[in-house]
Structure formats: structure tokens, C-alpha cells
Amino acid sequence: MGFTERAFDYFAKLTKSILKQRRESSGKRGDLVQLLMDAYVYENDLKNASYENLTANTEQEESTEEALKGVTGQSSNKVKRTLTENELISQLIVFFVAGFETTSSTITNCIFELVSNPSVQERLHQELTTSLAGIDPESEQYYDVVMGQIPYLDAVVKETLRKYPALVRFDRTNKIDGYKLGNLTLDAGVLVECSP
Ligand code: HEM
């Protein structure tokens, strides 16, 4: 089933209430919502922007309330463009959609494979027990070990994603007439689909 209108409305309302809460509370959080609320570029840079050189800034020189209005600032070449409320809502919904189903289905498939292959499960269990012995689960060290120092865990996750890819393809529209992609020459407007 796709992302229904009801689901969209739910997330739009939820996101709006989070933004309202943020505007009304003092202090800042160190998370994605805050980064998106603080992000801005200068209008002038936006007009002359190329893909490579346009990077949003997040240093806050104005109040979050001001930033939320969208376009702020005074002098012509220093007018700030922040994300509008609808743009913020869209970005946060993408974040939910991109992050939730991908991880939950990957974990489910991984557990299914481990149950179906007890010798793999046993080896993974042993490696985890050995690698994490005596390390506080709340510590940075624990995170670093899990994320980068257990090759068999990495192999199990990668094999799960190979057998059950959470995303089966992504696409891009070519913007440049005559663009060379390997042996191919692409016209502008051609859709290129890739298997990740
Ligand atoms: C097994 C887990 C995941 C897989 C396989 C996965 C895969 C991908 C792929 C292939 C793309 C590129 C899509 C494209 O450029 O067309 C992508 C984009 C993205 N992912 Fe993930 N992802 C995973 C988990 C997550 C998580 C946990 C988050 C956030 C909490 C997340 C947030 C995003 C976002 C925001 C984008 C950009 C979407 C956009 O450009 O519109 N992903 N992901």
C-alpha cells in the first residue's frame, strides 16, 4: 500500500505540532528538526547557484520565529531564504518515510534469515558477545564497535540487504544534453534508473 492521504495528513499534523512546540519553547535541540529550521541560503546565491557551490548555512543570526516566515532579511544581496513551513513539513515526512520502513523491513528480514540459518545465528552471537564484552551499552565505544568493528555483523546486514533490498532502484533525470555516461550519450530529460 502506498502513502495514503490519511497517513500524509497524520504526519503533516504531527510535524506542525512539533514545529509549534519548538517555536514556543526557549533553547535549541541538536537534531534534524532544528537544523532544518535554522538552515538558510542568501537569495542572491540561490539565483546564481550551481549544484556544487550551494550549501545551506545554519548559524542562527535571527530568531527561529523570523526564520520560519520564509524569506527574511533586509538588504538586496543579503536576503535570507529559509525553508517555509510546507517545505519543512515535506522534508520531515521524507525523513520518516525514508528511515522507518527501510530499517524495520531490513531488521525483520535479517531476523528471519538468522532463524532460518542457526549456524550463522550462532556465529554472530559469539562475535557480538566477544566484541562487546565489558563495554557499557550507553558508551560511544559501544556504538563505534557495533558500527565498524564487527565484520561478521556487517556481512550479515549486507547479505540481508542483498537478498531483500529495502530500495530496489533510484532514478535521476539527466539535465545536460549530450551527457556521457560510459559508452552512452544521453539527451537532456532522459530518466536514468539505477539499482543501488
Ligand atoms: C536499511 C536502511 C536504509 C536503506 C537501504 C536506505 C537507502 C537509501 C537510498 C538507496 C537512498 C537514495 C535514494 C535516492 O537518492 O533516490 C536513500 C535516501 C535517503 N535516506 Fe535512506 N536508507 C536507509 C535508512 C535510512 C534512515 C534510517 C534514514 C533516516 C532516519 C534515511 C533517510 C534518508 C533520506 C532523508 C534520504 C534522501 C531522500 C531524498 O533525497 O529525497 N534512510 N536511502
Q: pLDDT tens digit string along 151-178?
A: 999 999 999 999 999 988 889 999 999 9
My answer on whether 46 and 85 are in the same domain is yes
CA distance 55 to 40: 9
Query: Model confidence at 60, in pLDDT bands (50, 70, 90)?
Result: low
Same domain, 109 and 174: no
Query: Which range of residues forms the domain containing residue 131?
Result: 93-163
**Same domain assignment for residues 28 and 70:** yes
Pocket test for ligand 1, best of 97, 167, 169 (most atoms within 8 A of CB): 167
Residues 118 and 139 in one domain: yes
Statement to judge: residues 74 and 51 lie in one domain? yes
pTM above 0.85, yes or no: no
| Cβ of 173 below 6 Å from ligand 1 | no
8 A C-beta contact, residue 58 and residue 84: no
For residue 75, report the distance from its CA to the centre of ligand 1, in Å: 38
Report the range of poorest mean pLDDT among 15-24, 48-57, 79-88.
48-57
Ligand 1 contact, 166 CB (< 6 A): yes
Answer with the one of 89, 120, 153 that is the final residue of a domain. 89
Residues 97 and 157 in one domain: yes
Q: Is the pLDDT of residue 52 over 70?
A: no
Q: Mean pLDDT throughout 112-117?
A: 98
Q: Are 72 and 79 in contact (CB under 8 A)?
A: yes
Q: Do 109 and 138 share a domain, yes or no?
A: yes
CA-nearest residue for atom 17, ligand 1, is 98
What pLDDT, on a 0 to 100 scale, did the predictor assign at position 81? 84
Q: In the prediction, which pLDDT does 168 show?
A: 86
Specify the higher pLDDT residue, 76 or 58: 58
Q: How confident is the model at residue 67 (pLDDT cuts 50, 70, 90)?
A: very low
Q: How many domains are contained in the chain?
A: 3
Ligand 1 neighbourhood includes 106 CB (under 6 angstroms): yes
Which of 36, 103, 163, 192, when mutated, tests ligand 1's pocket best, judged by the most ligand atoms within 8 Å of its CB? 103
Beta carbon of 99 within 6 Å of any ligand 1 atom = yes
Q: Ligand 1 center to residue 191 CA distance, Å?
A: 20
Domain C-terminal end among 25, 59, 89: 89
- Torsion of Cα atoms, 121 then 122 then 127 then 128, to 10°: 60
> Are both 99 and 52 inside the same structural domain?
no
CB contact at 8 A, 23 and 65: yes
Residues 64 and 108 grouped into a single domain? no
* Residue 68 confidence (pLDDT) above 50: no
For residue 73, pLDDT over 60 is answered with no
Mean per-residue pLDDT over the chain, rounded: 86
Closest atom of ligand 1 relative to the 172 alpha carbon = 16
Write the CB contacts of 147 (distance below 8 Å, at least 6 apart in sequence).
none
Asked if residue 194 and residue 135 are part of one domain, the reply reads no
Q: Looking at ligand 1, which atom is closest to the CA of residue 105? A: 1
Mark whether 18 and 81 lie in a shared domain: yes
